Amino acid sequence: MPLYIHALACAFGLGSWVSINGLWVELPLIVNVLPEAWDLPSYLTVIIQFANLGPLLVTLAHKFCPGRLREHLVIYVVLSIGVVACVLLAVFWKNTTVILGQPHSTAFFILTFFLALVDCTSSVTFLPFMMQLPAKYITTYFIGEGLSGLVPGLVALAQGVGMAKCVNVSHVLDNLTEPEPSTFIMETQYLPPNFSTEIFFSFLAIMTAISLGSFIILNRMPRTFELSTENLVPDSDAVATVCRGLEGPMDPNPKTNNPEEEEKLRNGVLLPKPLHSGYQLAFIYLMVLWVNGATNGLLPSVQTFSCMPYGNMAYHLSAALSAVANPVACIIAMFFPKRSLVFLGILCLLGSVFGGYNMAMAAMSPCPLLQDTPLGDAIIVLSWVFFTGLLSYVKVMVGVILRDRSHSALVWCGAAVQAGSLLGSIIMFPLINIYHLFQSGDVCNTVCPL
């Protein structure tokens, strides 16, 4: 029975972020079809931030109606929405509408919003539900959350998205009086992947349905154990607690109706409050603000501009391997935690250097450094992997530090996460879509100066 519950907990966690992670790794194929093209990631970052309306409503419900929100009903609703949205996305993702004379991917944006709403809301509903189970199943749940980034990345690698070739195509001018010889123009033709985007979205629907089915079984299982006042997430699992918790607001749901009892219980299960000076706390929160602004807003918006000039394969590998780097960083942090602020500051600086290189290549698009060379392709892919991995480790360890300080510190950490992510998205959207500071190109026709 315990192994059976472990499998259900892992499958339940798989549905937490599988949809949005799946969209990101599928972008190398989607940007070649939808009219927004290379600007598409900047739209997605803003849509995902708007989807934090879900966690906000859950938080307000806990604040003003304590004890009345039925989290299992919320989970039923959000996972059902996720399944339906994935199915509809497989059918209507190509549909466009004309707005102000320009075609836009309205159906894709609307369905992406609902998928993001599901994943963002999971941050404040899934974990509180798992707290009803014994502590040993919490780690298994977070393994499932890590797989929600790993599995879509591996499936995308197997799909082979976005492969392209350059073909000479003849064009004949329609001139009846003076026929002219045909001209040859180099065009980019995209080879079909091993399986279509529709099948990939159907796969996401199946993963979400598996998560929903696992939750139904877990929720209907008889509670043969009693909840105790022990720390349901012991210190050994502290990294797992914040590994995904940093993606959304912290759950403020009180476990008792008496705030004083709740505070006493909280103080009893957490470690003694570490002593940090005001300057150290300011440094910690600034790191949270910057790291999440960079990883959730600034850099994802320009990934197409930094990778596509090197070819679809480079973009494909960057997107897929970056999705894998996040759970790998969480696993490393779990086994090799390092809380030194100096060490974390150095890692933050190194990650920012890789992010700066990615941003510089995006600004130089469509003619970045070392274009059309194997070295350039390898550097841009590794730069994105190290950028994601290093800053993910910093996010996890900073969350652990604040978790051990106090509950309110972790709540403020969640606020800083959302503020940084929103700020990064808002900054990049007008720079890309209004001022057009980043230029797209064509792999086959762009001519760069030597």
Average pLDDT across the chain, whole number: 83
Domain ranges of the chain: 1-162+195-221, 235-248+276-445
Q: What is the pLDDT of residue 1?
A: 59
Q: pLDDT tens for residues 8-63?
A: 999 999 998 899 999 999 998 899 899 998 999 999 999 999 998 888 888 888 88
- pLDDT reported for residue 450: 66
Distance in angstroms (rounded) separating the CA atoms of residues 123 and 84: 20
Class of domain 235-248+276-445: mainly alpha
pLDDT in tens, 60-97: 888 888 878 888 899 999 999 999 999 999 999 999 99
**Mean predicted confidence (pLDDT) in 202-212:** 96
Most confident of 66-75, 204-213, 318-327: 204-213
- pLDDT greater at residue 185 or residue 279: 279
Rounded mean pLDDT, 193-211: 94
DSSP3 helix / strand / coil % (the chain, rounded to 5):
70, 5, 25
Structure confidence at residue 226 (pLDDT)? 42
Q: Report whether 383 contacts 354 (CB < 8 A).
A: yes
Of the candidates 237, 294, 243, the one whose C-alpha atom is nearest the C-alpha of residue 397 is: 243
| CATH architecture group of domain 1-162+195-221 | Up-down Bundle (1.20)
Whether the predicted pLDDT of 327 surpasses 90: no
112-129 mean pLDDT = 89
Ranked by mean pLDDT, which of 139-143, 418-422, 441-445 comes out on top? 418-422
Query: Are the folds of 1-162+195-221 and 235-248+276-445 the same?
Result: yes
Q: Is the peptide bond before 366 cis (omega within 30 degrees of 0)?
A: yes
* 196 backbone dihedrals φ, ψ, rounded to 5°: -75, 170
**Helix and strand element counts for the chain (H, E):** 16, 4
- What average pLDDT does the segment 158-186 reach? 67
pTM of the model: 0.82
Q: What is the pLDDT at residue 343?
A: 96
Q: What is the DSSP letter of 38?
A: G
5, 91, 103, 112 from 107: Cα distances, Å? 38, 10, 12, 8
Q: Which of 37-41, 230-234, 238-242, 391-395 has the lowest mean pLDDT?
A: 230-234
Mean pLDDT of 200-225: 89
pLDDT over 80 (residue 401):
yes
Query: Looking at residues 436-445, what average pLDDT do you find?
Result: 83
Quick check: 210 pLDDT over 70?
yes
